[in-house]
Amino acid sequence: MREGLQMRRRDFIRAGTLGGLAAGGGIGGLGDPLAAIVGGPGRGVAEGRVRLSSNENPLGISSAAKDALVEAIVLANRYPADQHRALVAKLAAAHEVGEDQVVLGTGSAEVLQMAVQAYAAPRAKLVMAEPTYEAVTNYQRTEAYELVRVPLTPGHEHDLDRMREAAESSGHPALVYLCNPNNPTATITSSAAIDAWIADAPDHVFFLSDEAYIEYVEDERMWSSLPWIAKKRNVLVVRTFSKIYGLAGLRIGYGIAHPDTAARLSDFASRNNINQLAIAAAGASFRDEGLMEKSRVVNRESRQMVEATLDELGLERMPTQANFLMHRINGDLATYRGRMAEAGFLVGRDFPPMLDWNRLSFGLPEDMGRFCDTLRDFRGKGWT
Amino acid sequence: MNTRFSRRHFMGSAAAALGALGLRPQSAFGVALRPPPPGLAPLDPYDDLAKLSSNENPYGPSDKMMASMNAAWKYSNRYGYPDGDIHEKIAEHHGVSTRNIIMNAGSGETLKVAGITFLGHEEKVVGVEPTYTSVYRVASGIDADVIARPLLADHTQDIDDLIKVTKRNYRDVGMVYVVNPNNPTGVIVPDSDIRQLLDGIPEDIPVLIDEAYHHFIQDPSYSSAVKYIKEGRKVIVTRTFSKIYGMAGLRLGYGIAPAEMISEMRTYATGSVNALVRWGAVAALEDHESEAWVKDTTIKLREATAEQLRSQGFEVIPSETNFFMVHTGRPASEVRAEFRKRDVAVGRDFPPMLDYLRVSIGTEEEMKRFLVAWKEIFPDGMTATGAR
């Protein structure tokens, strides 16, 4: 009986298009048919434009991650509970926390979403910087929170004094979103100052500490808020595999918190949320020093090239501690973005109120070289 | 063997690294014994199990799906990339607009999002018991209540009762939930009953209809509830690529509903669908041959297995899915432990049907192992066990 089943399966394979591939074998056999399936130009990458718009890692996934992904494809049909647990165990051990303190999400976005949904309450406030990463405002009916946006200080830090006033004044629950380094400015906020607030904050203030870009930080004034979770139920640290690890398209991030907080968040996680490929690639990438160092080196090279060009052109820029930076464009952002797209570069979206600045993600050095030439060309045309 | 074949051809650039694969020891069941992904703890006895516990498709994605995904790994580091227009293709598949479709990381996320959206103010959800409890868990997580009604004696869902209870609790009911065919029983709700339900309850109450096992159904009295969405009813239908398409591990499901309901639901969803599964799904929708093969093979194995059990005197609930329920006459938890000793994983408890066992349809090999184990666990058939 079994033999019969296998035979039928093999017949099926022969009947399908892969019959030819099996004979040809290898990448040569796959190349052409796949090009036909992909179907030429599509969105983003395939339009031939360089994506300097979404703070991705231009190096792509590491070869170890790729190999892990290939191995994991045999699990494509299996629900990922066991593999999920194994990755949680690995992350927990590395961060020296319990397995009940790590919550995986489909990107850090799902972890942010869990927190926003879990801590919604009547008359609760959501306190955040302006500008900052706006995702937390997306996941809840707006009436569930009173949204308080506090402009960054002139030094581009979170204005912790004003945020604290907003969060603590009413006595109602408050969710404080701290994106450090901040997106879109790539600037850091002093961790000593954040620690001082967390140490004194009442329990009804919940800190959502988004550390998506922490692996790029070189400035010693910033460190992780992670040590707090041993003592505080009201701190959630969020990390992602989408940035330095280069797995944005696979969808995996995680949160670390007190066990009670993690349990509360898990009520808002989707069942079996993380796919097998992301779990495998994340497991193979996590704290891969080679991958991280290479990413930092490439990022630094691109950053220095961009900084030098901006300085040469007299375009003001913010200090960056991430894989992107914010710079003046001397003009209208939508127009600038359109012209850049025509020149082959996708650049950052609007971050009100900074509408005469652009957020630029760092691509590969060779692409940034062409970008810098384009910027000089824009100057020649009087466009910036 | 197919799985191994496909992997060798998956991601061609890594093919060289996998050259040694053919030399690896093979299990007796045609699946490569493989090392765990680098960096993860070993998943000890997992590979040796006959996996009949989670209603998965044992064959995995078809070769066309694998080939399609093979092109997509290079987008792993991107948020934006060509994705085969999967959103549009799902919409086309159902003859609706993309505004009627929400894509999620498995239909589990769609169910969660629907729960949070329509039960968000501590409303009640009305449904049966046992059923797939994902929505009920979401409800308790957000302090909403669950009104779970018993099945009828023939294991069908009591539509008159659901209507009565919904009307009685009208002001508090946020949503009615129907799994069709029901999990864990495998029993369908006929289309006439669905229509009766929609006509019988106040029309402003959303009805969430989970059609995860839609593709396995043969009974002509069933029909998908998507047509009611086109009629403008407040119906949400969920579908998944985890079952007939064999991609439970890759996480893609979706909801179909009136545009304004989808729009409300989007508030609570993240961009959670990965690059590879999008491409796998594009191929899945076109690969009718594979779909038909999986359906046909699954049904043949289901009926053959059920027939064996019936011939030994056991009641098997007639199923329209890739699983069935059998009356064990003793606690399913005990039976499950016995199966586990024999390296066969079977379904979890589904209260209150605690003396029924849910068995997923695996490969022919796995079903043989199941039947051998069954004979050991129930050597005297139903007559003797029933007397215990």
Task: Return the percentage of chain B with pLDDT > 70, whole number.
Answer: 87
Domain boundary among the residues A270, A285, A300 is at A285
CA distance to partner chain B, nearest, from residue A313 (Å): 30
Task: Tell me the C-alpha to C-alpha distance, in Å, between residue A328 and each of A316, A358, B194.
Answer: 5, 6, 59
Q: What is the mean pLDDT of chain B?
A: 89
Asked if the structure places residue A23 within a domain, the reply is no
Residue B80 binned pLDDT confidence (cut-offs 50, 70, 90): very high
The yes-or-no verdict on residue B148 having pLDDT over 90 is: yes
* CATH number, domain containing residue A219: 3.40.640.10
Q: Are the Cβ atoms of B250 and A107 closer than 8 angstroms?
A: no
Domain boundary among the residues A285, A302, A320 is at A285
- Per residue in A316-343, pLDDT (tens digit) is 999 999 999 999 999 999 999 999 999 9
Q: How many helices (H) and strands (E) does chain A have?
A: 13, 11
Q: In A369-381, which positions are buried (b, 16+ CB within 10 angstroms) versus exposed (e)? A: bebbebbeebbee
CA distance to partner chain A, nearest, from residue B86 (Å): 12
Residue B143: per-residue pLDDT: 83
Residues A261 and A296 in one domain: no
Tell which of A49, A79, A349 to mutate to test the B interface (max B CBs under 10 Å): A79
Minimum mean pLDDT range among A121-125, B104-108, B358-362: A121-125
Domain boundary among the residues A285, A300, A316 is at A285
- Per residue in B7-23, pLDDT (tens digit) is 545 654 333 333 323 32
Q: Are the Cβ atoms of B277 and A275 closer than 8 angstroms?
A: yes
Are the C-beta atoms of residues B106 and B251 closer than 8 Å to each other? yes
d(CA B12, CA A3) in angstroms, rounded, equals 29
Residues A222 and A325 in one domain: no
Q: Are the Cβ atoms of A56 and B61 closer than 8 angstroms?
A: no
Residue A38: per-residue pLDDT: 29
The yes-or-no verdict on residue A33 having pLDDT over 60 is: no
CA distance to partner chain B, nearest, from residue A165 (Å): 29
Q: Are the Cβ atoms of B61 and A70 closer than 8 angstroms?
A: no
Residues A311 and A342 in one domain: yes
* Pairing of the two strands B101-104 and A357-361: unpaired
Residue A44 binned pLDDT confidence (cut-offs 50, 70, 90): very low
Asked if the structure places residue A55 within a domain, the reply is no
Nearest one of B335, B325, B332, B309 to B359, comparing CA atoms: B325
Residue B142: per-residue pLDDT: 83
Residue with token string 């998507």: B226
Minimum mean pLDDT range among A320-334, B16-30, B166-180, B341-355: B16-30
Residue B39: per-residue pLDDT: 44
Size of interface A-B (CB pairs under 8 A): 311
Q: Which CATH architecture has domain B78-286?
A: 3-Layer(aba) Sandwich (3.40)
- Per residue in A73-113, pLDDT (tens digit) is 999 999 999 999 999 999 999 999 999 999 999 999 999 99
Residues A100 and A156 in one domain: yes
The yes-or-no verdict on residue B90 having pLDDT over 70 is: yes
d(CA A307, CA A290) in angstroms, rounded, equals 25
User: CA of A115: which chain B residue's CA is closest?
Assistant: B268
Q: Are the Cβ atoms of B9 and A22 closer than 8 angstroms?
A: yes
Cα Rg of chain A, angstroms: 23
Residue B13: per-residue pLDDT: 37
Q: Give the closest of A31, A79, A283 to B40, CB-based.
A: A283
Element at A129 (helix H, strand E)? strand A124-130
Q: Are the Cβ atoms of A38 and B82 closer than 8 angstroms?
A: yes
Residue B270: per-residue pLDDT: 85
Q: Are the Cβ atoms of A59 and B249 closer than 8 angstroms?
A: no
- Tokens representing A136 are 């937390």
Asked if the structure places residue A191 within a domain, the reply is yes
Q: What is the mean pLDDT of residues A146-175?
A: 96
Q: What is the mean pLDDT of chain A?
A: 88
Residue B51 binned pLDDT confidence (cut-offs 50, 70, 90): very high
Quote the distance between the C-alpha of residue A293 and its chain's center. 18
What residues of chain B lie within 8 A of the CB of A106, using their CB?
Answer: 105, 109, 251, 270-272
SS (H, E, C) A292-354: HHHHHHHHHHHHHHHHHHHHHCCCCECCCCCCEEEEECCCCHHHHHHHHHHCCEECCCCCCCC
* CATH number, domain containing residue A332: 3.90.1150.10
- Per residue in A187-207, pLDDT (tens digit) is 999 999 999 999 999 999 999
Minimum mean pLDDT range among A36-50, A242-256, A319-333, B97-111: A36-50
| Structural domain boundaries, residue A246 | 67-285
- Tokens representing A41 are 């130009």
Q: SS3 for B189?
A: coil
Q: Give the closest of B56, B105, B275 to A78, CB-based.
A: B56
Asked if the structure places residue A179 within a domain, the reply is yes
Q: Give the closest of B1, B39, B66 to A286, CB-based.
A: B39
Residues A319 and A279 in one domain: no
Residues A163 and A232 in one domain: yes
The yes-or-no verdict on residue A20 having pLDDT over 80 is: no
Residue B140: per-residue pLDDT: 87
Minimum mean pLDDT range among A62-71, A372-381, B20-29: B20-29
Task: Return the percentage of chain A with pLDDT > 90, whole number.
Answer: 82
Residues A244 and A152 in one domain: yes
Residue B36 binned pLDDT confidence (cut-offs 50, 70, 90): very low
d(CA B142, CA A114) in angstroms, rounded, equals 12
Q: Are the Cβ atoms of B105 and A251 closer than 8 angstroms?
A: yes
The yes-or-no verdict on residue A248 having pLDDT over 70 is: yes
Asked if the structure places residue A32 within a domain, the reply is no
Residues A120 and A160 in one domain: yes
Residues A245 and A324 in one domain: no
Asked if the structure places residue A304 within a domain, the reply is yes
The yes-or-no verdict on residue B2 having pLDDT over 70 is: no
Q: Are the Cβ atoms of A12 and B251 closer than 8 angstroms?
A: no
In chain B, DSSP assigns E strands to: 50-52, 101-104, 124-129, 145-150, 173-179, 207-210, 235-240, 253-256, 316-317, 323-327, 344-346, 356-360
The yes-or-no verdict on residue A161 having pLDDT over 90 is: yes
Residue B23: per-residue pLDDT: 28
Tell which of B272, B286, B291 to mutate to test the A interface (max A CBs under 10 Å): B272
Residue A48: per-residue pLDDT: 81
Residues A345 and A250 in one domain: no
Task: Return the percentage of chain B with pLDDT > 90, whole number.
Answer: 80
Asked if the structure places residue A59 within a domain, the reply is no
Residue A23: per-residue pLDDT: 28
CA distance to partner chain B, nearest, from residue A41 (Å): 8
Asked if the structure places residue A11 within a domain, the reply is no
Q: Are the Cβ atoms of B15 and A284 closer than 8 angstroms?
A: no
Residue B120: per-residue pLDDT: 80
Q: Give the closest of B31, B74, B274 to A74, CB-based.
A: B31
Residues A144 and A201 in one domain: yes
